[in-house]
Amino acid sequence: MNYRHEWKHEINLSDMLTLRRRLQVIASPDRHAENGVYLVRSLYFDTPSDTALREKLDGTDRREKFRIRYYDGDTSLIHLEKKCKTGSLSSKQTASLTAAQAQAIVRGGLNWMMSCDAPLVRELYSKMRGNLLRPRTIVDYTREPFVYGPGNVRVTLDYNIRTGLNCTDFLNPDCVTIPAGDAPAILEVKWDGFLPDIIRDAVQLNGRHAAAFSKYAQCRIYG
């Protein structure tokens, strides 16, 4: 499992405008982002006792979470993802799902998962059966991504974070989401072996420090 370094900063609108100007000069927009942005919709999983949420709020050093995700409303390409965190290091495993498979998971039709070729799908099945892991809430946001080759750096500006409350019908484009409280914009910086000085300098902001922010936790503020 390959781990990457990860920083997160809570930022305001002024910070975001400053960062955007800097990054447009030194980095490249992600080639998958139409007009420089894309919309992310995720469905997060948790146990009946909210294990993933509580581990995040308690600052547990080693934790994992499962989610299903697609972009710009395109359900022809859906990813099951497992994200693991160890301190400031993170890793992600992915598997592709069809819309029918994703919908089956949401509705509790799980038996097909046992014989799926993707190990990650079988792992999710095991944890849905053994730990009662279940879809918990939708998380929507807008992402503005930049990439920088040396260090395999990815810098993203995430904003307009919205919650689906208790709704899990995440393939339904008419599913209502609402602003997740007074959610800030988020700067995320991810890299492999080293972070180039030019990027390190560009993302420095007065009074801003790395913080452990979770969009999932933010989207659970109403329960």
Q: Which distant-in-sequence residues (6+ apart) come within 8 Å of 208 by Cβ? A: 9, 10, 11, 15, 187
Q: Which two tokens stand for residue 147?
A: 């990439």
**Which amino acid type is present at position 139?**
V
> For residue 40, which of 2, 92, 81, 87 has the smallest C-alpha distance?
81
Buried b (16+ CB within 10 A) or exposed e, 146-178: bbbeebebbbbbbbebbbbbeebebbeeeeebe
* pLDDT reading at 112 higher than 70: yes
Q: How much is the pLDDT for 11?
A: 93
Q: What is the pLDDT of residues 196-213, one digit of tens each?
A: 999 999 999 887 777 778
Q: Which domains does the chain show, CATH number per domain?
A: 4-218 (3.20.100.30)
pTM for this prediction: 0.94
Q: Are strands 89-97 and 178-179 parallel, antiparallel or unpaired?
A: unpaired
Q: Which distant-in-sequence residues (6+ apart) come within 8 Å of 6 by Cβ? A: 88, 89, 90, 188, 189, 190
Sign, Cα dihedral of 94, 30, 86, 217: negative
| Confidence at 1, pLDDT banded by 50, 70, 90 | low
> For residue 123, which of 99, 103, 93, 89 has the smallest C-alpha distance?
93
